[in-house]
Amino acid sequence: MKQIEKVLYDGFTYIDGGVCAAKGFRANGVYCGIKENPTKKPDLCLVVSDKLCRAAGVFTSNKVKAAPVLVSKAHLEQTGGKAWGMVLSSKNANCCNADGIDKANRVCELAAEQMGVQPEELLIAQTGVIGQILPIEPFEQGMGKVYDGLSAENHEQAAIAIMTTDTVPKEVAVEFQLGGKTCHVGAMGKGSGMICPNMATTLNVVTTDCAISAELLQTALSDVVQYTYNCLYIDGDQSTNDTCVVLANGLAENAEITEQNDDYAVFRQALYIAMSNITKMLAKDGEGATKLLECTVTGAKDRENALAVAKSVIASDLLKCAMFGADANWGRVLCAVGYAPAEFDIDQVAVTLASRAGSVDVCKNGAGIDFSEDIAKTVLLEDEIEILVSVGDGPAAATAWGCDLTYDYVKINGDYRS
Amino acid sequence: MKQIEKVLYDGFTYIDGGVCAAKGFRANGVYCGIKENPTKKPDLCLVVSDKLCRAAGVFTSNKVKAAPVLVSKAHLEQTGGKAWGMVLSSKNANCCNADGIDKANRVCELAAEQMGVQPEELLIAQTGVIGQILPIEPFEQGMGKVYDGLSAENHEQAAIAIMTTDTVPKEVAVEFQLGGKTCHVGAMGKGSGMICPNMATTLNVVTTDCAISAELLQTALSDVVQYTYNCLYIDGDQSTNDTCVVLANGLAENAEITEQNDDYAVFRQALYIAMSNITKMLAKDGEGATKLLECTVTGAKDRENALAVAKSVIASDLLKCAMFGADANWGRVLCAVGYAPAEFDIDQVAVTLASRAGSVDVCKNGAGIDFSEDIAKTVLLEDEIEILVSVGDGPAAATAWGCDLTYDYVKINGDYRS
């Protein structure tokens, strides 16, 4: 999947290369058979840097934390935010297993042996079914193969290896300048179920050749997550394995960013572009989804209130079904606005539905207005829908992303241990 | 639908009669054509008492409140909690309409004229599509007809008249003794989408011939709602029209309940039996549902924590899909337990799945245990499933009810303005 962010920012250019777009990063993905799979879809990947990176991460806030989450957090603490790379796998979440930590550590050891580094200098993320014992043999047999195939070209193989119910790999990369040096930020991510906005979501790896301190890298990541992954809602189920890591190797040779100056602002913007693109890709490829939904709330008294309303709308199962059916059932928008935990005057609420096919006002001052059902249908038959909600005259706005609720969501998740 | 509460309480007997089981109540439901409907399903109903009742209500906490909610609340305030009965209609929510209040008042006037009482001595509830202007002519033409057919036998017609996407009418009634007098509590309710536990749900009418003060009637209703309708979750969408009213006419001639004594405890129990039965009926007949799900959490430090976990489990779309597919994917239970806003030790969590076909332990000490997939399948193929979660050694427990998520939920709600 290619970038779908509409806004083009001055000074930033989309390029190919995903997590290998930044200098000195190589990646690969192979099938090692973590779960038998006749399609041989890759299930194990490595993303490594030629130089030791500054590393930062955000992780699930679910009380149930998968073993790889606990191991990655421990490694970041042990090293003070340094890593040579990351090992990721799909098909088994390695969560709720008594021997999960041992296995996650063993996977790091296997990768570290190949790379000739210390295990704690690697991060790990895993995704798949919860509560099934992780077989370690596939890792023992596959780690050499995935390591030997590492290259700057194999970024898409890596993005494929972390897919679960995703239908397409998700990658993005941007190029920009810092003090005359060409820099890059690249990313890959996977969905596509068990996704709710609360401290990162899903597995995401961001790489950059910018030089930046570990502390500011963490600051930028934690900040941007609030405007991207934490504004994403697929099904309200917050995963046990959510992990978003950024690795910065400094090979662009810009002056190291050590304070929140102009360079920091440019880097933060690059991070935002990469992560907001992945966020939208995740929404559009949500389990069973046929449409990307984007709800923007304006006129709120502060961002917190605006975001609460946007999330409430994007999370409504009834509205998600109506969007699947291309039905301009704006009453469901207003209903969801009404139960959002936010302060505003419901009598000032206005709603517009829009897409590349046009737009239609459906509600003003909290009450319905006449509109053409034909035009509304045309607007809603598109595959990217905007729901614009104005809640008053306040200065704040926020956007949240989601998708429609379809037969296929039920099919995917009603089937045996998908 | 008949009572499905499993526990039989000493001194209480299930009887027929729904909202007309209590002395002095009559009801009726007719088709008046609020929305054209070839099946002529009744869409207008009256529930009236031979004697002025004490009345209490709980209503939606959605900021968007339908006109009938606002009118009923105003009437209860004006009369200090008295009413001769209630008028209810389906097919149009009379919500988000500029003229909604006028129309709701007019409907009360039409009923009051037939009955020879004051409009403010009637309550009103409406359900259906949000944001469509309510046609008043059908009420003008139908009110005489529904009034003329009032009888103690027509309770089911009334229960049918409030149905929307419900597949069956929902009624229950119990008989019990208070100081040698035979008393009754009867109820009817409708679902079946836009249901989330937060200050009552759906439309519910409870009638009783007990003599009880208006204040204690409200106390009992508000209390029991916390253990019944507020523990119900269909789709997370909290309706704009939620209304639960109880009418008490005192014709049983028991000594009026004016304090929280033993008689109050018996009355509260009767109310609980009626309302918990309707709650389960609503869950079982949730939009598109094939299974009733009941999650009981034990070992919590207090009821608040227990209920937070139970609601989190019952609300998980992923788990709801797995239950539809009869898949013992207990990892999804643990995931939902983990993101519940509650305090407990995740390493102490145990999960058992049960039904009338048996039970199977699937998780202990926060990790998976060996179990027979065949037995689990047999357990989960039943249409009433219990999910038992122990979160520790604490004294508190709570139960929440819901249903599975199916293709039909999407179909019902993806269709044009259902």
| A chain contacts of residue B409, beta-carbon cutoff 8 Å | 317, 321, 410
Q: Which residues of B make up each annotated binding site for substrate?
A: 164, 190, 201, 287, 413, 418
Whether pLDDT at A42 is above 60: yes
pLDDT tens digits along A374-411: 999 999 999 999 999 999 999 999 999 999 999 888 88
Contact B131 A331 (CB under 8 A): yes
B330 touches chain A (CB under 8 A): yes
Over residues A1-15, mean pLDDT: 76
Contacts of B116 (CB under 8 A, 6+ apart): none
Catalytic residue among A165, A201, A207, A298: A201
> B389 in contact with A at a CB cutoff of 8 Å?
no
Instruction: Name the CATH superfamily for B13-284.
Output: L-amino peptidase D-ALA esterase/amidase (3.60.70.12)
Query: How much is the pLDDT for B3?
Result: 66
Interchain contact, A331 vs B130, CB within 8 Å: yes
The answer to whether A190 is annotated as binding is yes
Cα(A239)–Cα(B139) distance, integer angstroms: 50
Q: Using CB atoms, pick whichever of B336, B367, B368 lies closest to residue A237.
A: B336
**Nearest by CB: A322 against B334, B366, B413:** B413
The dihedral over CA atoms of B334, B337, B339, B342, expressed in degrees to the nearest 10, equals -150
| Closest alpha carbon within chain A to B368 | A131
Q: Which fold has domain B292-414?
A: Ubiquitin-like (UB roll) (3.10.20)
Q: Check residue B92 and report its DSSP letter.
A: B
To the question of whether residue A79 is assigned a binding role by annotation, the answer is: no
Catalytic site residue B201? Answer: yes
- For B65, which residue in chain A has the nearest alpha carbon? A338
Q: What is the DSSP string of B161-217?
A: HT-SS-SS-EEEEEEEEETTEEEEEEEEEE--SS--SSS--SEEEEEE---B-HHHH
- Closest-CA residue in chain B for A364? B96
A residues 264-293 lying closer than 8 A (beta carbon) to B: none
Please name the amino acid found at residue A177: Q
Q: What whole-number distance in Å separates Cα of residue B301 and Cα of residue A108?
A: 39
Note the pLDDT tens digit of each residue in A108-165.
Answer: 999 999 999 999 999 999 998 888 999 999 999 999 999 999 999 999 999 999 998 8
* Domains B13-284 and B292-414 fall in the same CATH topology: no
Per-residue pLDDT at A48 exceeds 80 = yes
Identify the CA nearest to B244 among candidates B212, B288, B264, B274. B274
User: Exposure of A152 by Cβ count < 10 A (0-12 exposed, 13-18 middle, 19+ buried)?
Assistant: middle
- Whether the Cβ atoms of residue B3 and residue B171 lie closer than 8 Å to each other: no
pLDDT confidence band for A216 (50 / 70 / 90): very high
Mutate to test the interface with A, among B323, B332, B410, B416 (most CBs of A within 10 A): B410
**Structure confidence by residue, pLDDT tens digits, A71-119:** 999 999 999 999 999 999 999 999 999 899 999 999 999 999 999 999 9
Residue A13 confidence (pLDDT) above 70: yes
Instruction: Name the residue of chain B whose CA is nearest to A331's CA.
Output: B130
> What is the 3-state composition of chain B as percent helix, strand, coil, each rounded to the nearest 5?
35, 25, 40
B341 and A CB contact within 8 Å: no
Q: Complex ipTM above 0.90?
A: no
- Contact (CB, 8 A) for A26 and A85: no
Evaluate whether B131 touches A322 at the Cβ level (below 8 Å).
no
Q: Is A201 annotated as a binding residue?
A: yes
Per-residue pLDDT, A234: 77
Q: Provide the residue-wise pLDDT of chain B in tens; the chain has 418 residues.
A: 766 665 667 899 999 999 999 999 999 999 999 998 889 999 999 999 999 999 999 998 888 899 999 999 999 999 999 999 999 999 999 999 989 999 999 999 999 999 999 999 999 999 988 889 999 999 999 999 999 999 999 999 999 999 988 899 999 999 999 999 999 999 999 987 766 655 445 789 999 999 999 999 999 999 999 999 888 887 777 788 889 999 999 999 999 999 999 999 999 999 999 999 999 998 888 888 999 999 999 999 999 999 999 999 998 988 999 999 999 999 999 989 998 999 999 999 999 999 999 999 999 999 999 999 999 999 999 999 999 999 999 999 999 999 999 998 888 888 756 5
pLDDT at residue B241, as a whole number: 87
pLDDT band at A2 (very low <50, low <70, confident <90, very high): low
In the set B60, B79, B165, B201, the catalytic residue is: B201
Tokens read off for A405:
């609720």
Mean pLDDT of A334-345: 92
In this structure, what token pair is assigned to residue B250? 């005192």
Of A194, A410, A415, the CB nearest to B335: A194
Q: Which residues of A touch B194 (CB under 8 A)?
A: 318, 335
Confidence of residue A369 (pLDDT cuts 50, 70, 90): very high
Q: Where are the domains of chain A?
A: 13-284, 292-414
Residue B116 is predicted with a pLDDT of 97
